Amino acid sequence: MAALAGRRTTLLARNHAVMLASQLPRAMALRQAYAVRPKPTEPLVIDGTSYPRDAFTNATPTILDKLPRRLHLQPSHPIGILRSLIESHFSSFAHLNSLSPIVTVAQNFDDLGFPADHPGRALTDSYYLNERHMLRTHTSAHEVELFRQGLDQFLVTADVYRRDEIDRSHYPVFHQMEGCNVVDPAQGGIERLERENAEMRAALGAANIVIEDPTGVETATNPYQAEHDPRTARIIAEHLKNSLNGLVLKLFGGRAGGDGAEPLRVRWIEATFPWTAPSYEVEVMFNGKWLEILGCGVVRQAALDKSGVGHKQGWAFGLGLERIAMVLFSIPDIRLFWSSDARFSNQFRQGDITTFKPYSRFPECYKDLAFWLPEASGAQGGDKVQQWHENDFMELVRDEAGDLVEGVQLIDEFTHPKTGRVSRCYRFNYRSMDRSLSNEEVNVIQERVQERVTSEMGVEVR
């Protein structure tokens, strides 16, 4: 990072355009619309259900507005197109696309064996409605309930929510697909998997694909489950791998850059997830770079026991749709998926993977904001000063700026040699996907961010 230590960067001094006098009245009207709201106390009401607020509540209106969008259900949206393509690879599975994004903390974490101190549970990482209910952070949140309902082969496609940084490839809402396949060994299930393995192996053997798989043998760091006969565990793991190698071939075969004559390269990597063992990640070589596309593994018997189907065995995977869609459709900014601009949506047709043709990019507008972080400990009027966390800051920015902010980057940090206080300077990059932004409207947003970061996060603007 460039050393800008000691340089004074205030909001107003760093505006990159000057506001015209004629723009002032509109700016004032906008500012009123953004007038400080008292912290709400009434319950959150979503789809007719009421969720009382408590100390966990951190889901913002900006996020809750996304719940009804359901991009994966739009047949000619890249996310919807990709969903259909993946569903066609698992055509005999049940396809579930309308499960509510509101789940219990038990569904999202506890039932899957996440430890109490897992970082994913933190308020800084996940969106909570209250202590008991949250927005799912992954589609795995539905595994236990669906196994319990007796489903054996299913795909779940859904919107998932995670608090994150702001840049062109991160967005607090994205889409995942969960695939699960469990069988009953007492009903000939393992023999069926073996037969399917032989068929899939033959098809893959004839295809233009190179699979690097150092995880093929059981290792001490990624062992089979004690409850499993090693032969059975291997058959299930192979079935998982064959199914996913086949999927990757369907999605990327002949498209991974180059002239299509080059073989598609896939690699398997050891991973850890609390409810699978062994566990893996899959990467695909695309345009000369390894792209991580999914996590998967053999479902732990503890999760199946929890579902009341401990007599079954099988596998699960979860993949992120945006990341794959961005490379397959050449979409440069994740916010475009949420654009309602016809120049975006009219480019795509159901069933087709086509290359996105960018329309003119609108000009960007930079703003810098420098502030002292609150002192880590100490008390003010009896209130504990909250621990500063960057994700809370990002969330506040998203709440004020919505999709108009393209990136927020830390450009400078230094510690005052005498007081020990930490100063940070963030650069905001504003750009709309659909239109030109006026400097005045960006100023209004930026001022609101400054006000809120001061009043809600205890920083001191420099």
In 3D space, the residue among 157, 74, 85, 79 whose CA is nearest the CA of residue 326 turns out to be 79
Please tell me whether residue 140 binds ligand PHE under the rule CB under 6 A: yes
- DSSP string of 16-39, one letter each residue: SS---GGGHHHHHHHHHHTPPPPP
CB nearer ligand PHE, residue 285 or residue 296: 296
Please tell me whether residue 297 binds ligand PHE under the rule CB under 6 A: yes
Report whether 314 contacts 181 (CB < 8 A). yes
In 3D space, the residue among 353, 313, 335, 289 whose CA is nearest the CA of residue 81 turns out to be 353
Task: Please give the residues from 110 up to 139 whose contact with ligand PHE meets the rule CB under 6 A.
Answer: 138
Please tell me whether residue 295 binds ligand PHE under the rule CB under 6 A: yes
Find the shortest distance in angstroms from Cβ 297 to ligand PHE: 5
Residues of the chain by 3-state class (helix, strand, coil), percent to 5: 35, 25, 40
CB nearer ligand PHE, residue 318 or residue 407: 318
CB nearer ligand PHE, residue 175 or residue 424: 175
Report whether 81 contacts 353 (CB < 8 A). yes
Task: Please give the residues from 304 up to 323 whose contact with ligand PHE meets the rule CB under 6 A.
Answer: 316-318
Length reported for the chain: 462
Candidate segments 77-85, 244-252, 292-300, 415-423, binder of ligand PHE by CB under 6 A: 292-300
Please tell me whether residue 78 binds ligand PHE under the rule CB under 6 A: no
Report whether 264 contacts 244 (CB < 8 A). no
Candidate segments 35-43, 117-125, 261-269, 294-302, binder of ligand PHE by CB under 6 A: 294-302
Please tell me whether residue 90 binds ligand PHE under the rule CB under 6 A: no
CB nearer ligand PHE, residue 121 or residue 367: 121
Q: How far apart are CA 288 and CA 327, in angstroms?
A: 12
Report the 10 Å Cβ neighbour count for 183.
21
CB nearer ligand PHE, residue 285 or residue 316: 316
Q: How far apart are CA 315 and CA 298, in angstroms?
A: 4
Please tell me whether residue 276 binds ligand PHE under the rule CB under 6 A: yes
Find the shortest distance in angstroms from Cβ 272 to ligand PHE: 9
Candidate segments 1-9, 295-303, 361-369, 385-393, binder of ligand PHE by CB under 6 A: 295-303
Q: How far apart are CA 374 and CA 386, in angstroms?
A: 8
Please tell me whether residue 303 binds ligand PHE under the rule CB under 6 A: no
Q: How far apart are CA 103 and CA 148, in angstroms?
A: 16
Q: Are strands 153-161 and 383-384 parallel, antiparallel or unpaired?
A: unpaired
Please tell me whether residue 273 binds ligand PHE under the rule CB under 6 A: yes
Residues forming contacts to ligand PHE in the complex (CB under 6 A) are 138, 140, 273, 276, 295-297, 316-318
